[in-house]
Amino acid sequence: MERYEQYGHTRRAVGARYGVMDFIIQRVTAVILAVYSILFLLVVLFTKVDYYSWVNLFTFTWFGGFPAGKISTSLAFFALIYHAWVGVRDIWMDYITCVKLRLALQVLTVMWLVSSIVYFASVLWSL
């Protein structure tokens, strides 16, 4: 029985299917955003655009009180936030070689996205 010796060390990737999951998430969030954008565009094209129609667009309800406007807008916004996070994170990881600068940019990106969520929630859910 021959014995094979290994020279050097085995290089491991970050994780199994790390890039595949991000790819799938990017596509799913893109589909959510596309559907919401098309529906939003149709509503804007075929309704009168004034303050009350905008408020009704985001506050309409289904089935006796289910806030469909707020839920669908929130789903689209969270899809946008996650889509942006995956994309910007990949840009930082691919093009910023200095680890400290990359970490600082990722932290600033997370802070910006979280503050966007807080502002979004305070505006939409106060209607």
69 close to 61: Cβ distance less than 8 angstroms: yes
- Tell me the one-letter amino acid at 65: G
Interacting residues of 80 by C-beta distance below 8 A, sequence separation 6+: 29, 33
Ligand-binding annotation for 95, yes or no, is yes
**pLDDT by residue (tens digit) across 6-61?**
666 665 555 555 678 888 999 999 999 999 999 999 988 998 888 888 888 888 88
Sketch out the chain's domains with CATH numbers: 20-126 (1.20.1300.10)
Q: Could you give the CA distance from residue 65 to residue 44 in angstroms, rounded to a whole number?
A: 23
Residue 116 has pLDDT above 70, yes or no: yes
Residue 31: C-alpha distances to residues 2, 9, 37, 87, 122 (Å) = 54, 42, 10, 15, 26
**pLDDT by residue (tens digit) across 54-107?**
888 888 888 888 888 899 999 999 999 999 999 999 999 999 999 999 999 999
Ligand-binding annotation for 83, yes or no, is yes
Helices 18-46, 68-95: crossing angle, 10 deg rounding: 140
Tell me the whole-structure pTM to 2 decimals. 0.79
